[in-house]
Each structure stands twice: as structure tokens, then as C-alpha cells.
Structure 1
Amino acid sequence: MKDVQIRPFYASDVPWLVERHGTLYAQAEGFDASFGTLVGQILDDFASGHDPTCERGWIAEHEGQRLGSIFCVKLDEQTAKLRLFLLVPEARGQGLGKRLLDACTGFARGAGYAEMQLWTHESHREACALYRANGWHLLGSKPVHSFGVNLVEQSWKIRL
């Protein structure tokens, strides 16, 4: 996909992000509405109180169409957390996920974090393969019941 821009997140992106996360996860994995609610809470917290020196969000966009997102938020002085990494299905498999991941980890490194963490689900095989290929390490996994379905939750980490 040519001419995809990775631009800063704006508060006006919130409705799109909540809708896309909710819809895509419901379709792909059967998540209930509680997932969209969680995404909305995460975004509201970010939009109203993030520190731009050490927290940032990005939107991938092509010709005015949003294609994906990724966020870096502060866990503590040494650790950042990757959040809300999403690509719409038609944008997957073209290197855009790696571009977003590189933007996020590069920012975290530049902001002085020593490591990043994330949580995801085992069923996100393509994302997990991308993390592994880019130096992330699986810390652990456990079965959970979240968003109305049974899942295997995973925690990942990378040293920056």
C-alpha cells in the first residue's frame, strides 16, 4: 500500500478507534461490547491526560482513510506499554504493522524507557509473529474469560 502516512493521534480519532476495535474484534473473535467500552476508556484517559514527552499515539492513514493505530503509554519511569495496536484487515500483510511497531518502539527508546511491555491474546498469531520477529519475548500466558469469550492472554516484553 503506497503513500500510507503515519501521523499523530488526534482526539477526533476516538470514535473511529472505538468503533473499529469493537467491530473487528466482535467479528474475528466474538468479543462482546465490553471490549469497545474498554477501548473508549483507554482513549479517554489518554486524550485527557497523557504526557506527550513520554506517551504518544499514531494513526496510519491513506488518502484520508484510517487504517490502523498504535500507542505508547507510561507504566513507570523505566517501562512503556504498547496499547491499541490495530490494523484493518485490508491493510494487513503489507509491512504497515512493522512500520507502526517501529514508530512506537523508536519513540519509547527516544523517550528514555529501558523496556516495553504489552498484552495480547494467543489467537493474534500474526501480531505475535511480528513481535517475536522484532525482538519481543513472551513472558507468559494464561487462560482467561474476557470480553465474553475464553481466551489465552499473553504478556510480552522487549528491552530497548
Structure 2
Amino acid sequence: MTDVRIRMFVADDKDWLLEQHRFLYARDEGFDETFGALVSDILDDFIAHHDPERERGWIAEDDGGRLGSVFCTHTNEETARLRMFLLVPEARGQGLGRRLLDLCISHARDQGYRDITLWTHESHRAACALYAATGWQIEDSKATRSFGQDVVEQNWRYRL
């Protein structure tokens, strides 16, 4: 991975991103098909309705192969939302996640948002460690059952 580039998400990336979410979360977390349905709905909504000025999605790739993604979406005039943050296993641990996270935060700041939020699960330890190391704060945490699994959901916030 010597020449990783980050480009804008296009609709043709949907199938790859959906398949990666379905496969990796089923394999690593035991998530059922309801997770894939949620990801599909999020991507369909983004493709059909996103504001191209305020909302962006990015794909990281190396030699034409996709490695990961991150999205910055609009919650309200003051708050953006980080979504679809994903790295394939072979791209982890090399600083690419930090690059994607920084890009999303920078975009939100440039668009005049005051903060950015995200929703995740406690079991995503590497991502949560990255959030904590870069100044994100946990707003709340609760045990629940989602996607066929007992999970601990977390909501995080970053002040811009």
C-alpha cells in the first residue's frame, strides 16, 4: 500500500461498500442481514438525497483496489455525522483510518458545523481507540440487542 489515494464516493461504489459491510460485520461481529439492510438504506439515501456541498463520501484505494470509506453527512445546521467508516483488514494499522477520520473532520469544520457525531458499538475497539485518541468524547452508551447480537451502542461527539 504505497500509493493510497482518497477520492470522492460515486454511486458505483455502493455494491462494493455494501458487500464489505455485510461480509466483515457478519464474520467479525456475527451481525445478521438486518445490518446489511440498514447499510443499503443509508447508501441509497445518500446517493439520492445528499447535499454535495455539505455532505461527502470518500473511498480510499490503492492500485485501483478499494480499501475503505468514510462519510460526512448533515444532521442539522450545527451538527455533522460521521458514517460508513470502514477499512478492509489488510489496510488497518497503517494510518489510513486516521487519514480518513481527519478528512471527515476537516470537511465538517470547513462547512461550518460546530460538532460532529457518530454511532458505533463498543466492540469496535480499534475504531473507538482512534476516536478517543483524536479527541472524541463518548456522549452515551447502552446495552441493547441489534442485528441479532447483544451489543453496547455508543454515541460519540467531536467539538470542531
Give the TM interval when normalised to the shorter protein. over 0.9
Q: Which residue of 1 aligns with 2:56?
A: 56
* CA deviation after TM superposition for structure 1 residue 131, in Å: 0.5
Residue pairs, 1:22-61, within 5 angstroms = 22-61=22-61
Q: Which residue of 2 aligns with 1:67?
A: 67
Counterpart-to-counterpart distance in 2, 1:136 and 1:120? 13
Residue pairs, 1:5-24, within 5 angstroms = 5-24=5-24
Aligned pair count reads: 160
Q: What is the identity, as a one-letter code, of the residue corresponding to 1:3?
A: D
* CA deviation after TM superposition for structure 1 residue 121, in Å: 0.4
* CA deviation after TM superposition for structure 1 residue 67, in Å: 0.4
Q: Which residue of 1 aligns with 2:113?
A: 113
Counterpart-to-counterpart distance in 2, 1:158 and 1:102? 12
- The gaps in structure 2 that reach 5 residues or longer are none
* CA deviation after TM superposition for structure 1 residue 77, in Å: 0.2
The alignment-based identity, stated in percent, is: 62
Counterpart-to-counterpart distance in 1, 2:122 and 2:71? 20
* CA deviation after TM superposition for structure 1 residue 46, in Å: 0.2
Q: Which residue of 2 aligns with 1:138?
A: 138
Superposition CA RMSD, Å? 0.5
Aligned-partner SS, 2:22: helix
Q: What is the identity, as a one-letter code, of the residue corresponding to 2:131?
A: Y
Residue pairs, 1:74-153, within 5 angstroms = 74-153=74-153
Counterpart-to-counterpart distance in 1, 2:60 and 2:141? 29
Counterpart-to-counterpart distance in 1, 2:150 and 2:10? 33
Counterpart-to-counterpart distance in 1, 2:123 and 2:149? 12
* CA deviation after TM superposition for structure 1 residue 140, in Å: 1.3
Aligned-partner SS, 1:2: coil
TM-score normalized by structure 1? 0.99
* CA deviation after TM superposition for structure 1 residue 78, in Å: 0.1
Counterpart-to-counterpart distance in 1, 2:52 and 2:112? 13
User: 1:69-114 deviations in whole A, cap 9, x for unaligned?
Assistant: 0000000000000001000000000000000001100000000000
